[in-house]
Amino acid sequence: MKTALVTLLLLSAAAQVRAAQFPLCMYGITGPADMAAIKKAGFNCFQTYSQEPVKLAALAAEAARLELKMLAAPDKVIVSTYAAAAKGWPMLAWYLCDEPDVVICRKHETSSRAFFPDLNLFTPKKIRGNLPFPL
């Protein structure tokens, strides 16, 4: 009985760790004032449509304080004075491109190479040979 209880407790603890690491994001955050409420509601990350470097820096600072991860577009940040600092922001991911605008994504791939040296964008041209249907 003790072994079963210990096993159950260990499995429960492991499940809680995995659940805490799973991104549960709120979309469309506009400013730092929104973030305490989403943290209290149980979210651990957020996405913003803002691209202004000053605003993203403020969101990043509040995200770090609240232990939230963020998802944002890097387009304006990587060519601003915030580029170096942005590499240390609490990012879940950089939002490089929206679907289905693959042609527009090519523009982002070129401009993002310096900031993201290991960037490997998903594009139809790169996967065409691996698909079971024509593209």
Contact 111, 121 (CB under 8 A): no
pLDDT mean over 18-24: 72
Q: Is the pLDDT of residue 43 over 80?
A: yes
Q: Tell me: pLDDT of 3 over 60.
A: no
- Average pLDDT, integer, range 73-95: 90
Contact 79, 56 (CB under 8 A): no
Q: Write out pLDDT tens, residues 75-84.
A: 899 889 999 9
The pLDDT, as a whole number, for residue 72 is 92
Give this prediction's pTM. Answer: 0.65
Per the document, the length of the chain is 135
